[in-house]
Chains A and B, each alone.
Chain A
Amino acid sequence: DSGVTQTPKHLITATGQRVTLRCSPRSGDLSVYWYQQSLDQGLQFLIQYYNGEERAKGNILERFSAQQFPDLHSELNLSSLELGDSALYFCASSRILGGALHEQYFGPGTRLTVT
């Protein structure tokens, strides 16, 4: 158990819908990262937050957005869902912001299926 929690574990929804994925980082970790993992694309970095502020953006679509709240939990919002958005979404947390990125601890993931 990494100490990172994600809810829900599974989500099945229809095209065009909007969903919110939630992540709570390990105690004391200020950085939260979101990743998407699909069979054909591998693990793709989406976005990083540090202490409530967006710090880095990866391959995140405009239909997706995220935020980190004062209690450091983070939410990833996916809207106008398409079949191709079906994937495993991981959240990870780490203690250090840039400078020296140390190990990231991954949550168990949310499996999103868009039908």
Chain B
Amino acid sequence: EDKVVQSPLSLVVHEGDTVTLNCSYEVTNFRSLLWYKQEKKAPTFLFMLTSSGIEKKSGRLSSILDKKELFSILNITATQTGDSAVYLCAVEGSTGANSKLTFGKGITLSVRP
């Protein structure tokens, strides 16, 4: 059974701090790893990673995948209170011609002013 483990479970930081969120996985026939941000509504897409070692960046957020060690990290620099959310990691595994997403339980990030 595919498994995605995120750590830490929750994190409290102050504005301006840098945070690193971790995601490790075990999946059959890995295809991609996705990061989502969920505030008090539906998840919104952040990144999709398929290749090892290639960093994806969007403003203060960046993410990288290590397919050998089966993990990914999401970095947020110069955190702001608006970054407070649950960050979800999901891994896509293939089952024949189809694919399935398995989500981790999420990391709750609280950014204090």
Chain A residues at the B interface, C-beta cutoff of 8 Å = 2, 33, 35, 42-45, 48, 55-56, 58, 90, 97-109
Contact = CB atoms under 8 A, between A and B. Distances in A.
B75 interface: no
Given A2-B42, A109-B41, A98 B103 contact: no
Contacts of A103: 34, 45, 48
Nearest to A54: B98
A35 B38 CA distance: 14
Interface string B28-66: 000110100000011111001010000000000000000
B84 interface: no
Interface of B: 31-32, 34, 41-45, 48, 50, 88, 90, 92, 94-95, 97-106
Contacts of B92: 101
A108 B38 CA distance: 11
Contact of B95 (A56, A104, A105): A56
A42 B106 contact: yes
B103 A43 contact: yes
Contacts of B42: 2, 90, 106-109
Contacts of A104: 34, 45, 101
B103 A101 contact: no
B72 to A, nearest CB: 16
Given A56-B95, A98-B94, A103-B34, A48 B100 contact: yes
A35 B101 CA distance: 10
B99 A56 contact: yes
A43 B94 contact: no
A109 B41 CA distance: 8
Contacts of A45: 100-103
Nearest to B90: A43
A43 B43 contact: yes
B10 to A, nearest CB: 13
A44 B41 contact: no
Given A42-B103, A102-B48, A48 B41 contact: no
A55 B103 CA distance: 18
